[in-house]
Amino acid sequence: MDKFAMVTKTLLEQCSLPLHSDDSILMLRKIVSDLFEAMEAGDSCIQLHSDEEIKVLCASGLAQVICSARLPNVPLCIYQVEGLNFLYLTRYYYYENRISLIISQLCNASTSIDKSKINSTLELLKTKSQQFDFPNQGQYLSIKKSLQQKFSIITGGPGTGKTTSVVLILWGLFQIYGKDLKILLGAPTGKAAQRVKESLQNNLDNIEDNLNLDISDIRNLLNNNESCGTIHKLLGYIHQSIYFRYNNENNLGADVLIIDESSMISLPLFYKLISAINISKIKHLIFLGDPNQLYSVEEGFVFNSLVNASSAPYHVSALTISKRNQGDVSRLAKAILDNNSALVMDILNNSKFVSIQRPNQQFIMHSILYGTNNIFEFIEYCQNKTEINNANEIKDLFKHYTRCAVLCMTNLGKLGVVNLNSEIEHLIKTKIVCNEPWYSGRSIMILSNEKSLNLFNGDIGICLILNGKPRVYFDNGRSFVPEILPKHQLSFAMTIHKSQGSEYEMVKIIIPTAITSNLLSKELIYTAVTRAKKSVEIFSDINNITSLKATIRQSTLNLNIM
């Protein structure tokens, strides 16, 4: 018996009213099974299409129609909006309802900003923008909206300047409120949180030099480890519990909360984050993300729902000028988003920087091992390293690693991450004549968070044999002997999901011929393509790329933000 059947069986056993026919029992079983299957795929709810379905659900005692602000004391509820009927787990309806209520309150709340301070701050930035086109007009408008409103969203693809906007927002906030302002910066995963902090730090010198602004308060903020971290860390993670130390009864003490990679936040986590905010105390709540990238692994469509809400023009700023993806990579990404299959085919067939060929394993392995920016070149570079003396040498090591990424659809299967990594390592060891588990160039990905080592799920480590001993280096400057590392796997190839948020000179995207349609989506391929700065090689049947469909998750949240 599969898990959907088991859940359905459990719910059916809770029926308090008799069902009058076998047909009713079968209908109820199918409805409940459909709901859980949809949630497994990321939906928050399902749409009901007949009065008979509603009648059977209500007769079963498992569901009630929402008639007031008070939630029914049953496992399922039916929400009616704009003439449509949606079935929810009652708990998930509550999550969406609370999110919409709190966001609506924030959207309509007035701020306690000293208008003379904000006007002078914005006027200075406007002058800089006009002089240097830095920040550009889109960035300036996003900064302006974020400083003037309690709630705001900044969207944009890779390289569109979201990080620059955040640095200048932080500078503006300190100008307006003073250095005692309590700001929290967060992201859904440890890797994303670390990357946000590093990206902000890397932008400080550029902004200080080009705009001649005092950013000392921002440096102090980023040096405070308690101010930056995962959403779980900011909320006060409790070991082996689904609850957090900060919640609707014990609020976060933040004046400003800025969250990056927001499209990755699941519905339950978004609810817990938004519930921990003190609406009367919070001065600014800012979410950043790319709505075209992959959504959360768990159920929910919160970020996209907020971006697409009727009130979006008032709280959403879109950055569109990318400095990362140039030329045909950028054209391909846009053509994929626009469903322009003719342009996709034209680019794939005629570009020097974007190409496609069938997913033949022999062709794929030859490209990985001998093609442009190949693995053997990286291994040779690592094998020739005899010492690491400073942070710049670690930076150079990772510069070589990020020359190319092999991105797979899945972990399992002939063309999945596990098998390709195994094949690649076998050929590497054969070439360098190595029987040891660790060798210079062995690249691994951390699979769990280890706070004591400052290592997070998704972090990449590269082994070097120095003085006859293996040591694994990470791009944050830390290094460890292999024995103390948390769970990890080879990272010569990785899933597209794991690559999210990273960037490479080129990417090789591998899509098996027999891939099921529910795994292949516009968001997945867009995410893979936009990891590349210069070139893309795709191994796939061309029909897979020209017939992509967007993933639309079922939710009513966007209908309720006022």
Domain range list for the chain: 1-90, 109-324, 328-547
Amino acid at 430: T
| Burial (CB count within 10 angstroms: exposed 0-12, middle 13-18, buried 19+), residue 320 | exposed
Mean pLDDT value across the chain: 90
| Burial (CB count within 10 angstroms: exposed 0-12, middle 13-18, buried 19+), residue 407 | buried
Q: Which of 185, 35, 226, 100 is nearest to 556 (CA)?
A: 100
Which whole number is the average pLDDT over 468-477?
92
Burial 449-482 (b: 16+ CB within 10 A, else e): bbeeeebbbbbbbbbbbeeeebbbbbbeeebbeb
Extended strands (E) in 238-292: 256-259, 284-289
Top pLDDT among 212 and 155 is at 155
Q: Return d(Cα 154, Cα 452) in angstroms, integer.
A: 33
Q: Long-range pairs for 76-81 at CB < 8 Å and ≥24 separation?
A: 76/11, 76/32, 76/35, 78/48, 78/54, 79/45, 79/556, 81/556, 81/559, 81/560
pLDDT in tens, 293-309: 988 888 889 999 999 88
Q: Which of 529, 459, 465, 527 is nearest to 488 (CA)?
A: 459
Residue 156 has pLDDT above 80, yes or no: yes
Q: Return d(Cα 136, Cα 372) in angstroms, integer.
A: 35
Q: Do domains 109-324 and 328-547 have the same CATH topology?
A: yes
Taking the alpha carbons of 67, 242, 551, 257 in that order, is the dihedral positive or negative?
A: positive
Taking the alpha carbons of 333, 444, 472, 383 in that order, is the dihedral positive or negative?
A: negative
Q: Return d(Cα 370, Cα 449) in angstroms, integer.
A: 34
Query: What per-residue confidence (pLDDT) applies to 19?
Result: 52
Q: Per the structure block, which two tokens stand in for 415? A: 């063309």
Residue 17 has pLDDT above 70, yes or no: no
Which whole number is the average pLDDT over 395-408?
95
Query: What per-residue confidence (pLDDT) applies to 318?
Result: 94
Residue 227 has pLDDT above 50, yes or no: yes
pLDDT in tens, 44-63: 999 999 999 999 999 888 99
44 neighbors 299 (Cβ within 8 angstroms): yes
DSSP labels, 319-341: E---SSS-HHHHHHHHHHHTT-H
Q: Which of 53, 50, 46, 27 is nearest to 87 (CA)?
A: 46
pLDDT in tens, 70-118: 888 899 999 999 899 999 999 999 999 999 999 999 988 877 777 888 9
144 neighbors 176 (Cβ within 8 angstroms): no
- What CATH superfamily classification does 109-324 receive? P-loop containing nucleotide triphosphate hydrolases (3.40.50.300)
Query: What per-residue confidence (pLDDT) applies to 143?
Result: 96
3-state secondary structure of 473: strand
Residue 365 has pLDDT above 70, yes or no: yes
Peptide bond into 135 cis (omega under 30): yes
Q: Per the structure block, which two tokens stand in for 87? A: 């079935």
Taking the alpha carbons of 162, 163, 168, 173 in that order, is the dihedral positive or negative?
A: positive
* Cα dihedral: 519, 522, 524, 530 (round 10): 160
427 half-sphere exposure, CB direction, 13 A CA radius: 15
What contacts 390, CB < 8 A, 6 or more positions away? none
Query: What per-residue confidence (pLDDT) applies to 20?
Result: 55
Q: How much of the chain, in percent, has pLDDT values that exceed 90? A: 65
Q: Return d(Cα 333, Cα 344) in angstroms, integer.
A: 9
Which whole number is the average pLDDT over 493-519?
87
Among the four given CATH numbers 3.40.50.300, 3.10.290.10, 2.60.40.10, 3.40.50.920, the one describing domain 328-547:
3.40.50.300
pLDDT in tens, 236-249: 988 778 889 999 99
Q: Return d(Cα 545, Cα 61) in angstroms, integer.
A: 46
pLDDT band at 327 (very low <50, low <70, confident <90, very high): confident
- Strand pairing partners for 450? 455
The terminus-to-terminus CA distance of the chain in angstroms comes to: 44
pLDDT in tens, 408-465: 999 999 999 999 999 999 999 999 999 999 999 999 999 988 878 888 888 899 999 9
pLDDT band at 1 (very low <50, low <70, confident <90, very high): very low
3-state secondary structure of 284: strand
Q: How much of the chain, in percent, has pLDDT values that exceed 70? A: 95
Which whole number is the average pLDDT over 337-344?
93
**Other CB atoms within 10 A of residue 519 CB:** 11
Residue spans of alpha helices (H) in 464-529: 496-499, 522-529
Residue the block writes with tokens 């024995």: 483
